[in-house]
Amino acid sequence: MESRELARQQLDHRLHDFRLAPSPVGGWIRTIRQALGMTMAQLGRRLGVSAPAIAALEGSEARGAISLARLSDAAEAMGCDLVVTFVPRIPLTEMVRQQAMRKAQQDQDRLLHTMRLEGQEAGVGSSEAIDRSAARWMEGRPARLWD
């Protein structure tokens, strides 16, 4: 197995659990603060702000309008580490395979159009031909897949 494919599979494995743990509805700050039994005023003192400022902070996180710096500060104040990651909606390996299939289909469509113009379309565009083309796309330079 090629090293790029192995690295992709290992990353898929590492990210799998993140897909199973969506962000809580009220946001992480509120969820962790409440799980710790910490009041807004107590967290505010740790951050050097008022309880209403904590309410605003939690609201901005819930809306997706909080900065990473503020999230990091809140995490630190609650004895947590902030972990920022991208979580693919589908495994990376599957994402690459689907893109290779799209590129292969585009190649076959162009070829079929040309062959029809010449009256030679027999056998072009078959699922086997598309599968072979997709395999070539996956073996080639990966950056070309995304053009």
What is the rounded average pLDDT of the residues 98-123? 79
What's the pLDDT band for 142 if we cut at 50, 70, 90? confident
Among residues 77, 108, 128, which one ends one of the domains? 77
Q: 78, 36 in Cβ contact below 8 A?
A: yes
Among residues 18, 48, 77, which one ends one of the domains? 77
CA distances from 43 to 28, 77, 92, 98 (A): 13, 7, 38, 46
Within a domain: residue 86?
no
Within a domain: residue 85?
no
Number of domains in the chain: 2
Instruction: Say if residue 64 is in the same domain as residue 101.
Output: no
Show the domain range for 42: 3-77
Within a domain: residue 84?
no
Where do runs of H (alpha helix) occur along the chain? 3-20, 28-36, 40-47, 51-63, 68-77, 92-117, 127-139
Within a domain: residue 87?
no
Q: What tens digit of pLDDT does each residue of 3-35 get?
A: 888 888 999 988 888 877 778 989 999 999 999
Among residues 25, 54, 77, which one ends one of the domains? 77
Within a domain: residue 82?
no
